[in-house]
Structure 1
């Protein structure tokens, strides 16, 4: 079937593919600065109808956050901030014709809702993020759940809740692994999920599931191939987090490489078997596979598009990429800019200036991106928050924990919301949630 073509209004057309934290912030700011004034046409394309900040997915999975109260409707955001939103997934590109190809969109019953479409662009910005990398481990795809999307997080929560209800009502003793959750990968997502699960499983059990003793029956295991948790972060931070996890009776297995995942549990290279009916895969990332064959653009071994410091792809000045799907050089280091929320936010801010120059016809001397590391924060739910803040002199860092660290962690989410809605709206939303929180259960019960 021939594609429908959306070509725009004759203005400079900026197409942004991917409505994650960076892509949505960029579309919002460009809509306010260029779309509202009729200087350019801004189109955001994403495969889902709503946006949830990805660092919150572990809370949705654990049940400590109700996504209905935190998701943002793309259509509403586009209406308020003067850009267009189109639902769909990019699956191809023609750089010579300057066209982006969007696959047909199907509903949950397999019925085609939106036909294949083609979008013409003057500036294309790809910000489709990353997916979990299972490294081809046997059974990982079939028997584990990643936390890349809101749907996956909600699916895991339903399975967790069903497992608890089943255990509460059955007349036979619990089987090995029946209420054990195994988390593969002790990066930020893994350790934060482990702490949240420790809290929410006890909260869930307290709401009428009196036959379950959470301390005795619910087990959480964290498996990491490196020799410590949070291997990408400073050792002191890792040690502090691991100590807290062990206080929570989380079983931490470091130096254990997973070799197989089954419906009964996990096997590691040392011969260890960890029984588990619920496995979360949180080890490693890669960009979506189709990027490696995107009309000849240069990609690395994990499918990231290789870009210059201007965030332009190496083979096409009209195609940009940023965030987790881009391999951007980090001057003075032997690695690329790390795939973190703060780098995507910084890159989005720079691209606002870049696009304004391109719309004005200035295609040379574009800004170059320099990553600024402001530190790392790891939130262990209600138990504690730890992190390190990077100093401006000599790259020194300050270790923080407790209430101040938690305040800093929460402020990151508020900064994201303010980039989308402005200070006053976020203030009112925060106040409303503080009030309603007192009349609601602190864990999702279904």
Structure 2
């Protein structure tokens, strides 16, 4: 498959599947690993889908080789210790503890004669679980009460086996009091905890908030365009140039707001494309994806867009004080030449003139006509002369013409509007009308629109 997007939530990925890319996340990963090295406490805070779990799982992946890393997922768990005792693997702990206990066999009463009699050392340890005050023996036997205090005692002993790294995910407000107790237990181990922004914002206990703030890693608003590019490249390298413009447009318009929604969008679009194209037919897939980022016929689409704008202007006329919307293009004489202006409407006895111009290559086919539009000061309509209040162009390409306001709408949004998204069109037209709110006298004389 061209794009390898996991079909499960990040919290169920194995650590082998964790992909963490982007300069922002690499920076935060290195910061967190430094915190681990210094045996400090850190909190990863962010909205759902911003990569909190991914960051923790990546830390687990990196640290588990040389450390005893414990990852606790508190989603739908009422207590920390419940998850701890579920995740504590006795087999792995016994292997580590056994290596230390074999160094002190004699002190534990395991003599040459016992070995000669066929008593295995492992069996002997189980018989003496409660006879010696030894941290390795307690770990081997897991001789702890299955509650919060028992968890603290177990952690205190386990850190003698290896450097201990505690990663706690999906913390909720009802976990905070126990988290505070855990931090203050004097374990001297690194604790990295992740919580949603909503939970963090509700922390009222000053002592808890101070501990959380000590090394807070904020993921909200951290994602940059370079991060997004690397994320797309990581999952869809061969289609980055085709998918990235779509993702950036959706990100800028707040239609996708986090890493999870980026991956979800790509997966959904690839599912649609695969109904038309074979899985590895790159050319077919690109052709389908480009339908989102290019127009089939820019000039024809511009005329259709103008029609939709006129229809909407008529529907919102009362809200914006529009007294007249011309039902088609308006022919106007300027500098001895005749041009057709696509949009013509009247507000408060002042005229607004505009054109819709789309392009797939960044060029404007009617650039000279737009320059003429910028010169129009008065328009005669129905035997009355109106002052021109504003001149504008709606386009999907970057342009700058004196005395003309440019309302730039990305191609992806243009396609959505052409497909019937009236609400999106209304949002964009409101940006246009915002240009006229309480202008100064100087603005009235010089405003381009």
TM-score in terms of structure 2 length: 0.27
- Of Structure 1 and Structure 2, the greater helix share is in 2
The structure with the largest alpha-carbon Rg is: 2
* TM-score, length basis structure 1: 0.27
- More strand per residue: 1
